Amino acid sequence: MSDQRPLAMVTGGSSGIGFELAKQFARHGYDVALSGSSDRVHEAARSIEELGAQAYPFQADAATYDGVEGFWNFVAELGRPLDAAALNVGIGLGGAFMDTDLQDEFRLIDINVKGTVHMAKRVVQHMVPNGHGRILIVSSTSATTPTPYETVYGPSKAFGFSFAESLREELRDTGVTVTALLPGATDSDFHSNAGMDNTALGPGATKNDKVLVAQQGFEALLNDVDEVVGGDEETKQTREDNRTTPEPVKAHRQAELTRPRGD
């Protein structure tokens, strides 16, 4: 038996929910490889090391093939079996579809959809021959409702949710599990980065605690749950209501949160 600590990777692990997930892994005995597009990933790694883990930071753009492949090669070259992977990196994009820049939408799809598939391919092809591994795919409660004024974001997260549930069934009996984390609106840089400061989700909005969201995702991953909502009771209730509420009703309700003020 190896006395080496298990190894986890977290994409987009330098801030927000991903950083909190990285801390969960570190506190539970894992070493952690983490990625981010800016150099703050190195500072995040130092914080992870303060928790007693080895941290392996990698700076690359997850919107590009080379960025995703580069992070995977970096993890593979550690020469250790990968025990857990949190495919967390994702960006938002607010605004009316009429006005948003198509290149920004393509970039979102590259990160949230293409990048997730790319990294999942590498992770699955590594874990299945090893006969073990846990994969967490960070989707969103936005996967369960139309998302006007985030017109491409919600569908990208619906992709992640369905992808996770599909892969989970395919990997049954391989020793590799797949869990989808569906956070509700969470306190991070996400909405500001998405250009949504001028909406009801902007500064001052009540949001879920990213520490709680990460704890819930980590526990679900360890307990081999297929899907977990990240957030408080109200967030969980919204997800339940979304199962039976007609799509146009949900779309109208969601627009109240996401419509830029003045539109």
Residue positions annotated with a catalytic role = 139, 153, 157
Closer to ligand NAP by CB, 6 or 67: give it: 67
Q: Which residues have CB under 8 Å from 218's CB, separation 6+?
A: 21, 24, 25, 28, 136
Q: How far apart are CA 9 and CA 72, in angstroms?
A: 9
Tell me the closest approach of the beta carbon of residue 41 to ligand NAP, in angstroms.
Answer: 6
Tell me the closest approach of the beta carbon of residue 261 to ligand NAP, in angstroms.
Answer: 19
Closer to ligand NAP by CB, 91 or 152: give it: 91
Tell me the closest approach of the beta carbon of residue 188 to ligand NAP, in angstroms.
Answer: 3
Tell me the closest approach of the beta carbon of residue 123 to ligand NAP, in angstroms.
Answer: 16
Give the sign of the dihedral formed by CA 228, CA 233, CA 238, CA 244.
positive
Note the residues at the interface with ligand NAP (CB under 6 A): 12-18, 35-38, 40-41, 61-63, 88-91, 111, 138, 140, 183, 185-186, 188-190, 193
Tell me the closest approach of the beta carbon of residue 73 to ligand NAP, in angstroms.
Answer: 15
Closer to ligand NAP by CB, 31 or 150: give it: 150
Burial profile 196-213: b = 16 or more Cβ within 10 angstroms, e = fewer: beebebeeeeebbebebb
Q: How far is CA 59 from CA 24, 42, 89, 107, 189, in A?
A: 21, 8, 13, 18, 18
Closer to ligand NAP by CB, 132 or 253: give it: 253
Q: What is the largest CA-CA distance in the chain?
A: 62
Closer to ligand NAP by CB, 14 or 144: give it: 14
